[in-house]
Structure 1
């Protein structure tokens, strides 16, 4: 048996031997790789069949992962569930010890599979079919992959990309095993390692989590003027992450003051510590028990985020929210906390009739009118912490504008900046952190536009 034949047979054996990382063996890209190698190894098909399989594999790989089989497989190790990650998630140390030796060998096999490149496969095709010069040129012009094996990850700004880069640079992937176990402990695997933020969707009465590919990249440093509010939320979040007692938080205040942005910035700041966000719409509060069962054994910590929370009269979701905050039959686990935003301090829309106790014409009902009103007003009190975000006065508004200009490195004459900012808040949406950001976006665009005209 020649060197090329041994390479093909060994590669097929390595793919089929994967058990701990079975998800890689069953992956569509790897199935197409196996099919290509199997046909080439058996030499029982004509050249057209080989080329079809080659292009099927190349197309599938490039559709999913640019031109790098190595990076594709690293992504699978990090973000796809496997037997090892499931054992780590269940904290089954006995079974982890049992599979370590096999897992270590499989990691080396995956490393070797990841380094198969198009140039080598093309050489085998040309040699196997005794192609002439013109035919060889056709094979040589076909799509390539893994041709730049030294090119690592460009964006190593996050801990997950830094971890992938470490794997990429390792000569032997059995050295990665302990790192991988630690990673699964901190980040989990599957979608909870891949995404930092999710939305809960309910379609045809079937609720499910959907990962957000590009969550809002807002950072705490960009949210100027509400530092004391941020500090309180950060302290509560860090206690939660450390496993200490922490409170649900209601962020209350005027529109555009940065309530929602603060929660999103908290996730961006602390997701590397295992923090994740689940955005839950008010109408899906009835699904909270499903969410509990899905998340309660995960290693991550979850903020259940309910944005713009306000209830109408006799709304069903009001009772669901009350039950969630009070604790139902199935208690909220320690790895979940609720952060909600609202523009209404007491969360329930009141009418003048409510305030006057005139909600019913039945005199017997009126006896309990005050109790009903107090019950409505008490919902916000069930949050452990309420933090107010009020619209800024003019001095605070200008301070926010100035801070944003400075953070972006823009050079604007102060008198002009303040004059235009005052015009902006009069013409548009009044004074708020959101209005300040919109104004600075405009100023930045003006500066860039003027520079281009000068050039």
Structure 2
């Protein structure tokens, strides 16, 4: 049995022993935790310094862990980490020596996070030679081994985290972790299904979306033929066959973007992920490729509302991507883009009457960009019959029960007063109707 002081000393040493999960040692929470443990191992400590280091650690934990306990925070960090272990899984290799080290470090991380708040407070009280009134202050310090809130989730990763939390030895969960990585991906790709390519302080990175649009294919009424084409192409891609980049063209509000998002939700468990890239950041495509190409997952690069102005650098970047440069080729990436314009590059009358000797060639070059997508799927505005069918489908899905004649009459009024016929307009109308009926 270790005394409380020996537990604190051992935990401090174990943090230093991390090799595979070395990145965790540089995490701001673990750094402050280690500083606190190291200070408590000193022969003589100041109660003021002990309290300050303890509260610095708690503050950082609250900032980064959103009310989770230290144990849960460390488990989250384990799954977000990229390290030699996750690299081997991505490459579909195996190494018993490395796996043995991971087994040890999982148990070490469990031990590091298992010290109770009360043990650290006792160490401050005993080693700090506190005065009577200071004892109450130390004991009133916030604990870090309990959650402020506990959200129950059905996500596979959250179920696995709960199982690890309840393991007597975290190392025993290694096999389950490996299986999860193989199916859902490592690092942030196992944690999130959708990402946005961002720039922050000049540095590009992938930001995981905490709550992506939950839309499902079954929620999208109409456009069955278009959805079938996109689904078939996506299935070919997931099954390892050749598939095409796709351009979804059509009127606003017809469900182009929603269809792409629904595809991701439908095939997430099959290893499909979404990376949304603004057209102005398409010049970063090579950087994105380098991140994704080694992952044992399939990725759809999603570019929404695609249209180019004259001379945009991203136009040339997309053209190169679609033509397939040497480094841009990767069999685990497709591009799905949406646009409201038949021609992706804005064309002016002055170009047709300008002094370019080969003006027609220039114009044709601009108009040919859409042709470089393997497939173009058209989403046209529905006629009145199709629109009312969409209205019926959305109303049924919402459980709204009104006379069909009234429903249709009000829907057509809505179209005349507000927007043109589209699935988006149908949803907006049903939102209004549902609120009106509940008043």
> Which TM-score applies when normalising by structure 2?
0.90
Tell me: CA distance 1:135–1:385, structure 2 relative to 1, closer, same or farther (3 Å).
same
Aligned position for 1:53: 53
Q: Which residue of 1 aligns with 2:104?
A: 105
For residues 131 and 110 of structure 2, the distance between their equivalents in structure 1, rounded to whole angstroms, comes to 34
Determine whether 1:190 maps to 2:190.
Answer: no
1:230 is paired with a residue whose SS is: helix
Match of 2:41, SS state, is: helix
Query: Which residue does the alignment assign to 1:380?
Result: 370
User: What root-mean-square deviation, in Å, do the aligned CA atoms of Structure 1 and Structure 2 show?
Assistant: 2.8
Partner of 1:117: 116
For residues 97 and 204 of structure 1, the distance between their equivalents in structure 2, rounded to whole angstroms, comes to: 40
Question: C-alpha offsets along residues 179-222 of structure 1, whole Å, 9 cap, x if unaligned?
Answer: 22233333433333333333334679765434434433322222
CA 417–177 in structure 1, closer or farther in 2 if over 3 Å, else same: same
Contact 1:347 1:379 in 2 (8 A): yes
Aligned length: 438
* Distance in 2 separating the partners of 1:103 and 1:365: 64
Between 1:191-200 and 1:175-184, the stretch displaced more is: 191-200
Whether 2:178 is the aligned partner of 1:141: answer no
Paired residue secondary structure (2:330): coil
Query: Contact (CA 8 Å) 2:44, 2:128: kept in 1 or not?
Result: no
Match of 2:82 in 1: 81
2:165 is aligned, of 152, 165, 168, to: 168
Q: Residues 416-448 of structure 1, C-alpha deviation per residue, up to 9 Å, x if partnerless? A: 322221111111111111111111222232344
- Hey, what's the Cα distance between the residues in 1 that align with 2:235 and 2:54? 51
Change (3 A) 1:372 1:213: same
2:332 and 2:424 map into 1 onto residues whose CA distance is: 32
Query: Would you say the 8 A contact 1:117–1:147 is kept in 2?
Result: no
CA pair 63-319 structure 1, distance change in 2 beyond 3 A: closer
Q: Which residue of 2 aligns with 1:453?
A: none
CA displacement, residues 81-127 of structure 1 (integer Å, 9 cap, x when unaligned):
2231133234443xx32211121111111112222232332233334
C-alpha spacing 1:56/1:284, structure 2 compared with 1 (3 Å): closer
Note the C-alpha offset of 1:251. 0.7
Structure 1 segment 361-380 matched on structure 2, within 5 A? 365=358, 369=360, 371-380=361-370
Q: CA deviation at 1:68?
A: 0.7
Question: Per the alignment, in what secondary structure is the counterpart of residue 340 of structure 1?
Answer: strand
Q: Distance in 2 between matches of 1:129 and 1:316?
A: 63
Counterpart CA distance in 1 for 2:178 and 2:257 is 34
Q: Which residue of 2 aligns with 1:157?
A: 154
Deviations 1:64-87 (A, max 9, x none): 211411110110111122231133
CA displacement at 1:374 relative to structure 2: 4.5
Asked if the contact 2:194/2:273 (under 8 Å) is kept, the reply is: yes
Deviations 1:160-189 (A, max 9, x none): 222222222222111111222233333433
Q: CA contact under 8 A between 1:159 and 1:272: conserved in structure 2? A: no
Question: Contact conserved, 1:156 with 1:165, CA < 8 A, in 2?
Answer: no
Note the C-alpha offset of 1:260.
1.0
Taking the TM superposition and a 5 Å limit, the aligned residue runs for 1:386-397 are 386-397=376-387
Extract unaligned runs of 5+ from structure 1: 451-455
Other structure's SS at 2:121 match: helix
Q: 1:23 to 1:396 in 2, by over 3 A?
A: same
Partner of 1:64: 64
**Secondary structure of the equivalent of 1:109?**
helix
Residue number in structure 2 paired with 1:359: 353
Contact 1:118–1:146 under 8 Å retained in 2: yes
The equivalent residue for 2:241 is 244
For residues 204 and 156 of structure 1, what CA distance do their matches in structure 2 show? 34
- Whether the 8 Å CA contact 1:252–1:387 is kept in 2: the answer is yes
SS at structure 2 position matched to 1:42 = coil
Rounded Cα–Cα distance in structure 1 between residues aligned with 2:335 and 2:78:
31
Select which of 429, 439, 448 maps to 2:429.
Answer: 439
Assess, with a 3 A threshold, how the Cα gap between structure 1 residues 117 and 404 changes in structure 2: closer, same or farther: farther
Match of 1:419 in 2: 409
Contact 2:72 2:165 in 1 (8 A): yes
Secondary structure (helix, strand or coil) at the match of 1:198 reads: strand
Instruction: Give per-residue Cα distances to partners, 1:242-270, cap 9 Å, x unaligned.
Output: 21111111111111101011112222222
- My pick for the range that moved more, 243-252 or 305-314, is 305-314
User: C-alpha distance in 2, partners of 1:29/1:155?
Assistant: 24
User: Which residue number corresponds to residue 322 of structure 1?
Assistant: 319
Q: CA deviation at 1:223?
A: 1.6
**Partners of 1:44 and 1:129 in 2: how far apart?**
7
Unaligned segments of structure 2, at least 5 residues: none
SS in 1 for 2:186: coil
Cα shift at 1:339: 0.6
Q: How does 1:208-219 map to 2 (within 5 A)?
A: 208-219=205-216
